[in-house]
Amino acid sequence: MERPELPLRQLHAFVVLAEELHFGRAAARLGIAQPPLSQQIRRLEDKVGHALFSREPGRVALTPAGRELLPAARRALADLADGLAAARAVGGGRTGRLRIGFAASLALTVLPGLLRTFRQRFPDVRLDIHEMTTAPQIAALHDKAIDVGLLREPPDDEPELGFRTVLREPFVAVLPAGHPLAARRTVRLEQLADSPFVLLPRAVGPGLHDQITGLCAAAGFTPRTAQHAVEWQTVCALVETGLGVSLAPASIRRIRLKGVAFRGIEPGTARTRVAVAWRKDDPSPLVAHLLETVSQDPPGSC
């Protein structure tokens, strides 16, 4: 047997009348006349199949069927109100889940301040943070596994993605503490030509890898790669062991290793670009809010 559908307007009228037990006062609360209220109650009683109110001169009372229906009617109306409020919050970008990919080195620069500001503005939004390098972030954006990426040297051939620069960092030379050039305040790139290099694999960050090798080429040499490492923390650790030298974004200086020296490079005009990335066709208001946060509170350059 099919359950009868109970229109919410009739349930609302029923609950108000159950609270007032007076047709005149209930109609006034609902903003309608008494005849339409009586009609709504009659229709609801027809669907239930039993009287919900006993009507006597000067007295209205709930019947046993009415007393049974009242808690369920209140729950239904409360659930609807909660659902509408939740839908409005999600639709307005005040709640929901935002999945963010980030390059590990950005935990040393833009990430903490950006997340802190966003959480202050939207405290009910759940943030899922995923550490990944640039190439995996691009793939994850296309696969809709993340909503926003924070990455270095975004590619030029991604028409479906949008990129907004949030920071431009200079480079530093990463040297073993015992390296002869560690005694200098700055290093000319050509002075590193004979040293082996510890570099990120091109597959995980093509733009940054090509920028570093391009700087070396402009200085007249091709870096001789002794070791690859995916994360800058590992790069610095391998440099500390004496396996080679490296070039890195200046924020890497915040990785404190006693056996590693960070030195400015000459010429010091080169910068690595940090950008926020998103799908251009993503209608999510949460993504729009994050981009607004970046625009309103842009991170300072290093």
Tens digit of pLDDT for each residue in 2-44? 444 557 889 999 999 889 998 989 899 999 999 999 999 999 9
Which H or E run contains 215? Answer: helix 206-218
**pLDDT tens, per residue, the chain with 302 residues:** 344 455 788 999 999 988 999 898 989 999 999 999 999 999 998 999 999 999 888 789 999 998 999 999 988 888 887 777 666 766 666 678 999 999 988 988 889 999 999 999 999 899 999 999 999 999 999 999 999 999 999 998 999 999 999 999 999 999 999 999 999 999 999 999 999 999 999 998 899 999 999 999 999 999 999 999 998 999 999 999 999 999 999 999 988 889 999 999 987 788 999 999 999 999 899 999 999 998 766 554 44
Domains of the chain by start residue, with CATH:
8-91 (1.10.10.10), 96-165+273-296 (3.40.190.10), 167-272 (3.40.190.290)
Q: What's the confidence (pLDDT) of residue 91?
A: 67
Q: What's the confidence (pLDDT) of residue 302?
A: 41
User: pTM value?
Assistant: 0.68
Residues in contact with 56: Cβ distance below 8 Å, sequence separation at least 6, in sequence order: none
Tens digit of pLDDT for each residue in 114-152? 999 999 999 989 999 999 999 999 999 999 999 999 999
Q: What is the C-alpha to C-alpha distance for residues 293 and 278, in angstroms, rounded to an integer?
A: 14
According to DSSP, the residues that pair with 100 across neighbouring strands are 129, 148
According to DSSP, the residues that pair with 248 across neighbouring strands are 172
| Residue 77, helix vs strand vs coil | helix
